[in-house]
Structure 1
Amino acid sequence: MILPIVAYGDTVLRRKAKAITEDYPNINDLIHNMWETMYNASGVGLAAPQVGLPIRLFVIDATPFADDEELTKEEQDALHGFKKVFINAQIEEEAGEEWAFNEGCLSIPDIREDVHRKDTITISYQDENFKNHTETYTGLVARVIQHEYDHIEGILFTDKLSSLKKRLLKNRLQKISKGKISVDYKMRFPDAKKVR
């Protein structure tokens, strides 16, 4: 089932999400619906707060980035088939050089900006079977994980922009929260009080 994606301005996007246990109601259905919702919106990641649930869950399929011809073969291989569920994730370490990449977000349609993030992360999480993992990622995979991880911490990519850039985007962000934007996927707008 395709779920409405919560737009910028909704308070759920600003809450630090809560950990869940394997008896969370209908968790497998929720994960399935999040995959379906993400693919329908042509996204590479989706966090539970983006579908209105303040829980520590996000899904990532970075495969679309593997076709980027500017990447090395090694980088393309790391992205190809990278499809994972992250439950109760905790970033243990961020390391390496900061680098800029143009990011967007399904909750903030039609806005893309360069965001600086560290190159390497170590993250502990549980998979969809609640098996524990601790893994280290670099490059674009690390960046996609950091973006989705921010969602479960109540952080949006626009928070990482300069104060000047934030001021320049203020009117566009207000229009998004009011639903005064054209999108080709189902969204819930906090200041419009309707799903479109």
Structure 2
Amino acid sequence: MAIRNIVKDGDPILKKKCRPVEKFDRKLAVLLEDMAETMRLANGVGLAAPQVGMLRRVVVIDVGEGVIELVNPEIIAYSGEQCGLEGCLSFPGEWGLAKRPNYVKVRAQDRNGEVFEIEGRELLARAFCHEIDHLNGIVFKDVVDRMLSAAEIEEMESQNK
């Protein structure tokens, strides 16, 4: 496994729509493994392929229950609403408040091309939406109600110590 560089704000790849994965091969498996390791090292909850410079519809998520790999994911159902804090590995140190569904159902493929469905609530639902947005060229700053100020971030960090 290799650690990949995370693309930062300002890189045009973050605003591009990703292409579907058509080949389920060793190259895809390596990408998934590298993305999971990169996400873990960066203390992230999710990582989408464009964040490591790949315009492919590939996402990894881990909200503390193990890595979920999603290839060609699409949201097929959602309900409820939550408003919460959201950040992004491509926008280090920036946080905003965003409304997302409280429940999300996703249809995707695994690394072998097998179709499956997975449901998520609360943080997992937020992560599904955030990462799938990346695949469509949408970043969290496009959907937040408002960004937090430096003072608010500093206060938040002091409360977490």
Taking structure 1 as the reference length, the TM-score comes to: 0.70
Gaps of 5+ in 2: 151-161
For residue 55 of structure 1, what is the aligned residue in structure 2?
56
**1:46 Cα offset (Å):** 0.5
**1:25 Cα offset (Å):** 6.4
Q: Percent identity?
A: 35
CA distance in 2, matches of 1:5, 1:57: 15
The structure-2 alpha-carbon separation of the partners of 1:122 and 1:23, relative to structure 1 and needing over 3 Å to count, comes to closer
Indicate conservation of the 8 Å contact 1:89/1:149, yes or no: yes
For residue 43 of structure 2, what is the aligned residue in structure 1?
42
For residue 21 of structure 2, what is the aligned residue in structure 1?
20
> Does the alignment pair 1:103 with 2:86?
yes
Q: Name the aligned partner's letter for residue 142 of structure 2.
A: D
Indicate conservation of the 8 Å contact 2:24/2:112, yes or no: no
Indicate conservation of the 8 Å contact 1:84/1:127, yes or no: no
The C-alpha deviation readout for 1:108-145, integer Å capped at 9, x for no partner, is: 00001111111111211001221101233222111111
For residue 179 of structure 1, what is the aligned residue in structure 2?
none
Q: Name the aligned partner's letter for residue 106 of structure 1.
A: L
For residue 130 of structure 2, what is the aligned residue in structure 1?
147
The C-alpha deviation readout for 1:29-49, integer Å capped at 9, x for no partner, is: 111111111111111111000
CA distance in 2, matches of 1:24, 1:55: 14
Q: Name the aligned partner's letter for residue 94 of structure 1.
A: Y
Q: Name the aligned partner's letter for residue 77 of structure 2.
A: E
Determine helix, strand or coil for the equivalent of 2:133.
Answer: helix
**1:15 Cα offset (Å):** 0.9
CA distance in 1, matches of 2:86, 2:17: 21
**Greater gyration radius:** 1
CA distance in 2, matches of 1:155, 1:39: 22
Gaps of 5+ in 1: 64-80, 170-196
Taking structure 2 as the reference length, the TM-score comes to: 0.85
CA RMSD of aligned residues (A): 1.8
Indicate conservation of the 8 Å contact 1:122/1:134, yes or no: yes
Determine helix, strand or coil for the equivalent of 1:88.
Answer: strand
**1:58 Cα offset (Å):** 0.5
The structure-2 alpha-carbon separation of the partners of 1:9 and 1:25, relative to structure 1 and needing over 3 Å to count, comes to farther
**1:82 Cα offset (Å):** 4.0
**1:161 Cα offset (Å):** 2.6
Determine helix, strand or coil for the equivalent of 1:6.
Answer: coil
CA distance in 2, matches of 1:41, 1:82: 16
What is the total number of aligned residue pairs between the two structures? 148
CA distance in 2, matches of 1:137, 1:125: 13
